[in-house]
Amino acid sequence: MNEKHVRTQTRVVKLVVSSAVLLLSLALAACTTPPSGPPPAPTTTPPTALPAPGTDAPAPPGQETPAQATATAPAASQPAAVPGIVPPPQGEPNRLVIPAIDLDTAIVDVGWEVVERGAQRSTEWQTADNAAGRHLNSARPGELGNVVLSGHHNTKGEVFRRISEQELAVGDAIYLYDAQGQRHTYLVSEATEPLLEVGASEAQRLANARYIQPTSDARVTLVTCWPYWTNTHRIVVVGTLAP
């Protein structure tokens, strides 16, 4: 084998080795290169506890709350409709009237916010100022499901003060008006005694929270705090849609 032939083979071997090293480098780069763009944001789910009207708990700086992003908030799952029956379209609620306690107030949608207290991080329902706040994932008046309304009892309008003072009784009428001008009548079916929330066991908090969960019947649930000088307990009033 002459010298020229040997040099040619050596160059071929070097070319093959260089190509292999290059391909290995590209493969490693493809494995270790971080994905482009920011990571997907975590999904914040609605609180599973009762709202805390009367408290002022700010969200962390830069934290977007569902109240700021109502347009993109997921709709709450509602009970399945009865086959063959199409419920009439319902409008968004905008007014609450309870004659027995001389209450006539606006209804606005509220979301929830992330709250940090020390090392604990949780989500809490917001409460409207000078109005009744409807949980934005709850039902609309007149349809199957639970219309959840919360209100302050000792600050910012005190719209639910007389509810907190337990002045509603079974059989009292609750009127919800919607944006289409329709009035929907509910009758009080339950008015709870004060339910311990602050300092309650996890089991008690879960039992309290059942009042704000979706339901298979048509109802309205009113939630506020008790007593007037603090917010340690909750008062809940449930009304069932009148036939």
Phi, psi of 99 (to 5 degrees): -60, -35
- Average pLDDT score, the chain: 76
Instruction: For residue 26, give the 3-state DSSP assignment.
Output: helix
Chain position carrying tokens 């944006």: 179
**pLDDT digits 0-9 by tens, 184-198:** 999 999 999 999 999
* Fold exhibited by the domain 91-241: Sortase; Chain: A; (2.40.260)
What is the rounded (10 degree) CA torsion for 210, 215, 177, 180? 140
Is pLDDT above 80 for 176?
yes
CA distance 90 to 178: 8
Most confidently predicted of 14-18, 24-28, 136-140, 158-162 = 158-162
pLDDT at 18: 46
**pLDDT digits 0-9 by tens, 63-81:** 444 443 333 333 333 444 4
**pLDDT digits 0-9 by tens, 129-169:** 999 999 988 999 999 999 999 999 999 999 999 999 999 99
Helix (H) or strand (E) holding 204: helix 202-209
Phi, psi of 204 (to 5 degrees): -70, -40
Is pLDDT above 50 for 27?
no
Domain boundaries, the chain: 91-241
pLDDT at 121: 73
CA distance 36 to 39: 9
Is pLDDT above 50 for 59?
no
Instruction: Pull the structure tokens for residue 65.
Output: 């709350």
Instruction: Pull the structure tokens for residue 110.
Output: 């509220």
* pTM score: 0.67
Type of residue numbered 192: T
Which range, of 11-15, 117-121, 157-161, averages the lowest pLDDT? Answer: 11-15
